[in-house]
């Protein structure tokens, strides 16, 4: 078993709060293969008691119970309450002023889609957003940015890269209509989508100037769960890793 700890890749201390973004790897939890080992998703066929144990480990690491989403590849963005799970939601905003807490966190679960974390630089407010192909096509990022109504740092987490995300010619053309940067080619020469490049364009168009990218490809890097890789190796069963936003009073 690997270590259970969270590497906070971005931290910003504002006037009233410290805001942090992190992405977990697949290691550090208790789940067995093919969910080994820090799978946080109940919906993927893993033993529920293992998933709960993994979520309990996360609560200890965070010092709070985060808010969760039952994601549907849609564009609904909700204002989160700690410890609750939000159905039919692909973006969660936490705001300490609104919930009256000194600390709160929210998680997005992924295995190739982009975990996007948005940190406010002037309010005790942050968001996690699930940006897969559908989320990109629906521009859920712009919706989250608008709801946050704040100066932001965007942190674009590990996801399948534009050289690995093979799609049909038709889907590539649809993506290019949303943002031409998203049209790509796989390393083996077939049509692909670069969701990250498309998302960065959407964030820029939404007025976000500070954008950080974690350019790790989940399909290539076995430190992360990858649905595409799991499909290539078997029946697609695999876990989900996390993008996390944490906000605490200073």
Where do contacts with Zn ion occur on this chain (CB under 5 A)?
161, 163-164, 217, 219-220
Residue closer to Zn ion (CB basis): 76 or 163: 163
Least distance in Å: CB of 113 to Zn ion?
14
Least distance in Å: CB of 165 to Zn ion?
7
Instruction: Kindly provide the residue ranges of all beta strands, DSSP E only, lying in 80-170, ordered along the sequence.
Output: 85-87, 91-95, 103-110, 114-120, 125-131, 152-156
Least distance in Å: CB of 236 to Zn ion?
18
Identify the CA nearest to 160 among candidates 205, 98, 219.
219
Residue closer to Zn ion (CB basis): 28 or 158: 158
Residue closer to Zn ion (CB basis): 208 or 217: 217
Q: Which one-letter DSSP state was computed for residue 123?
A: S
Least distance in Å: CB of 214 to Zn ion?
13
Residue closer to Zn ion (CB basis): 144 or 192: 192
Residue closer to Zn ion (CB basis): 55 or 229: 229
Least distance in Å: CB of 232 to Zn ion?
12
- Count Cα atoms within 13 angstroms, Cβ side, for 90: 23
Alpha-carbon torsion, ordered 103, 104, 110, 114, to 10 deg: -80
Least distance in Å: CB of 240 to Zn ion?
18
Residue closer to Zn ion (CB basis): 38 or 219: 219
Using N-to-C axis directions, what is the helix angle for 169-178 and 195-205, rounded to 10°? 20
Residue closer to Zn ion (CB basis): 47 or 163: 163
- Compute how many other C-beta atoms are within 10 angstroms of the C-beta atom of residue 158: 26
Identify the CA nearest to 240 among candidates 6, 8, 9, 44.
44
- The answer to whether 6 and 40 have CB atoms below 8 angstroms apart is no
Least distance in Å: CB of 217 to Zn ion?
3
Categorise residue 83: left if φ over 0, alpha if ψ from -120 to 50, beta otherwise.
Answer: left
- The answer to whether 37 and 26 have CB atoms below 8 angstroms apart is yes
């Amino acid at each position: 078993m690997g270590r259970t700890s969270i590497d906070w890749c971005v931290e910003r201390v504002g006037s009233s709060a410290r805001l942090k973004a992190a992405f977990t790897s697949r290691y550090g939890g208790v789940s067995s293969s093919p969910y080994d080992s820090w799978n946080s998703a109940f919906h993927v066929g893993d033993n529920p008691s293992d998933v709960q144990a993994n979520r309990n480990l996360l609560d200890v690491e965070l010092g709070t119970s985060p808010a969760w989403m039952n994601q549907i590849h849609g564009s609904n963005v909700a204002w989160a309450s700690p410890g609750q799970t939000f159905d039919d939601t692909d973006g969660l905003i936490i705001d300490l002023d609104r919930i009256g807490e000194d600390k709160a966190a929210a998680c997005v679960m992924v295995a190739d889609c982009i975990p996007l974390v948005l940190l406010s630089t002037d309010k005790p407010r942050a968001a996690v957003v699930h940006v897969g192909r559908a989320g990109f096509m629906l521009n859920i990022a712009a919706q989250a940015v608008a709801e946050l109504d704040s100066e932001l740092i965007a942190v674009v987490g590990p996801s399948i890269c534009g050289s690995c995300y093979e799609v049909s010619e038709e889907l590539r053309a649809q993506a290019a209509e949303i943002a031409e940067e998203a049209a790509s080619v796989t390393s083996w020469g077939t049509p692909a989508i670069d969701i990250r490049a498309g998302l960065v364009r959407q964030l820029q168009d939404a007025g976000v100037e500070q954008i950080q990218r974690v350019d790790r490809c989940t399909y290539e890097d076995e430190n992360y769960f990858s649905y595409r890789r799991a499909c290539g190796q078997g029946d697609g069963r695999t876990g989900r890793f996390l993008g996390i936003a944490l906000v605490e009073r200073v």
